[in-house]
A and B are shown apart, each in its own frame.
Chain A
Amino acid sequence: MLVTSVDTLFNWARLSSLWQMSFGLACCAIEMMSTAASHYDMMRFGVIPRPSPRQSDVIIISGTVTLKMATRIKMLYEQMADPKYVISMGNCSNCGGPYWEYGYHVLRGVDRIIPVDVYVPGCPPRPEALLEGLMRLQEKVREQGKAVDLEV
């Protein structure tokens, strides 16, 4: 009982301050920036852009993951402090997007190098979609470490 309460407290603390690593890759990054700006106001969910992976909890892969960038993304993800979460934003980072077939330089999905928690579809996703993804991630964090009731 006590352990569950402590877990709930920790999860609540984590989901209420999901600091985001400010990291933009392609046109999705523009949508991410406008999500952080005043109209959509990502900060009301406790998501604050941080300049360093040491201070951030969630990395939003916002755009095309080129092969050249993939090693850097892996490095940045590894340098983030635990617990860390990943949001894959847009079709490019979900699966390669329009580069799926002929993109000789694009990684087919960022989940080939780092574990992804939430996929946000769209090309690019609207800010509302990213906010939805963030809220889904918050729901996921709220339930983490708890026993899952399986409905048979």
Chain B
Amino acid sequence: MSGGAERQPALRIRDPRELAEIALQLRRKVIELVAPTGQGYVQQGLGAADLFAVLYFAELRLDPADPDWPARDRLLLSTAHNTAIFYATLAQRGLVPAAEIGDYCKDGSPFEVNASERVGTVIEATCGSLGQGLSVAIGMALAARRRGDASRIYVILGDGELQEGQVWEAALLAGSLGLDNLCLLIDDNRMQVEGHVDGVVKLEPIAGKFASFGWAQEVVDGHDIPGLLGALDRARAPSARPTCLVVRTLAGKGVPMLEGILAHNLKLPTDVATAAMAALSNAGDVP
């Protein structure tokens, strides 16, 4: 570890209850952001809220006062459409102005449905054309290794995104290079535009595929916060292998009437948004 690591002012919240409370706030924000226009990805956002809370409030070494800090950890959201949760998290963490994300999806706002670097360098690469994020992450991991700093590179891919061939070019190379500063998180919600992934192109065993490509891998419950913390700890340990965490998430998690509905582009009529917000407000004590 180089000196850069000591400077890190990250919050490093390790209390699962505190992280669960943050995730609940993020879920409310997802509804709040999407409700005015009905635009945005609700199911994915609710499903990934626990993962985003753990990544941004426990794991990533970032400096909100200096978002360009060269030795920062990097997170790339290859599924760049999942922005309601992404922007909500960035705002909560102080990485983008909370007041500005209210313009989400409005004409002229940098907070577009697909995250682009118009927002700033906190969007580490403009993805959205699926399949590209892992390659960019490899480039960043190699550069960090060459610089000799402690930067770790995290990249979130969707499970459906694994159907893109470029992912496997990248997976093959990352395994071959033994990039242990690279952590791939697969947001495994079994959902793509045309419905359940198994109805389009079957993906399982995802973890087994990465194992055969030379990766360390684990399947994790995406709503088990202690489980996520533990898996990320193990991924950080030196291993001479990149890590793939297959994070099993439930679309619509936290709003009972939405849970499990595989609607990639979910409409959010006002009455549904109101009911969803009520459900999240009544969630009360989280375990």
A and B: interacting chains: no
Interface residues of B (CB under 8 A from A): none
Binding site for B on A (CB under 8 A): none
